[in-house]
Amino acid sequence: MKQSLLFIAKKGLIWGGLGSFLALLFTVGAHLWIKNSAVGLHYQAVEAMPKNDVALLLGTNRLINGKFPNPYFESRIAAAVELFEAGKVKHLLISGDHSRAAYNEPQDMMDALVAAGIPEGAITLDYAGFRTLDSVVRAKEVFQQERFTIISQAFHNERALFIAQGRGLQAIAYDAKLPHTHPYSKVRWREYLARAKAVLDLYVLNKQPKFLGEAIAIHP
């Protein structure tokens, strides 16, 4: 009996270890696939950016823990203002989470952009960008854009570009500066998992946005 239990335990450890190895292999493969697919499609210098009519600004929270300014938010706002003022885009589609009354990423970003001098008429809000896939797919399906510029940090842009490619969209991206004052390690590990999920969502689960709705065409 003892030997049987020991055999079962060893077998469980072997299968568990094999499963963990395969999961790690898949995660690393997804990371490399997404990174390589974005080569040449995201830019760091505004002068090098091709022009597009519309930029998709990916939302994030304004405050960390409801108290401290989020440097990722501030960096994305700065990047959007830079592109707009350089004439590289004519209109900003802000897509973020507004799943509860007290939390409104698109409105917070719009307020910051208007305060920075961007005309309110050059901004459209998408309140159902609950995650990156939703934001990218809704840019096409709801807001009728098949060619646009994505604005976020480089690691996020790579995943957004991968999703756009998977849905047949012509997207490029502008990399907002990565904050040096905020620890990146937690974001990095979370991004590895998000990339594995992006591959599954696109090529296994055929995941769709939580909400779509009637078309809202943007004409800059």
Assign residue 178 the CATH number of its domain. Answer: 3.40.50.620
**pLDDT at residue 187 in the model:** 74
Rounded CA gap, 173 and 147, in Å?
11
What's this model's pTM, rounded to 2 decimal places?
Answer: 0.90
Which of 182, 177, 161 minimizes the C-alpha distance to 44? 177
| pLDDT > 80? residue 12 | no
| pLDDT > 70? residue 218 | yes
Helix (H) or strand (E) holding 71: helix 71-85
pLDDT in tens, 127-156: 999 999 999 999 999 999 999 999 999 999
pLDDT in tens, 44-54: 999 999 999 99
Helix (H) or strand (E) holding 185: helix 185-203
The burial of 50, by beta-carbon neighbours within 10 Å (0-12 exposed, 13-18 middle, 19 or more buried), is given as: exposed
User: Is residue 140, in this structure, part of any structural domain at all?
Assistant: yes
Rounded CA gap, 79 and 75, in Å?
6
> What's 149's DSSP letter?
E
Q: Please give the residue range of the domain that contains residue 145.
A: 2-203
User: Is residue 102, in this structure, part of any structural domain at all?
Assistant: yes
User: Is residue 65, in this structure, part of any structural domain at all?
Assistant: yes
Confidence of residue 161 (pLDDT cuts 50, 70, 90): very high
User: Is residue 44, in this structure, part of any structural domain at all?
Assistant: yes
**pLDDT at residue 144 in the model:** 97
Confidence of residue 7 (pLDDT cuts 50, 70, 90): low
Asked if residue 169 lies in contact with residue 78, where contact means CB atoms within 8 angstroms, the answer is no
Domain count, the chain: 1
**pLDDT at residue 188 in the model:** 78
Rounded CA gap, 98 and 199, in Å?
25
User: Is residue 144, in this structure, part of any structural domain at all?
Assistant: yes
User: Is residue 219, in this structure, part of any structural domain at all?
Assistant: no
User: Is residue 158, in this structure, part of any structural domain at all?
Assistant: yes
Rounded CA gap, 30 and 85, in Å?
36
User: Is residue 46, in this structure, part of any structural domain at all?
Assistant: yes
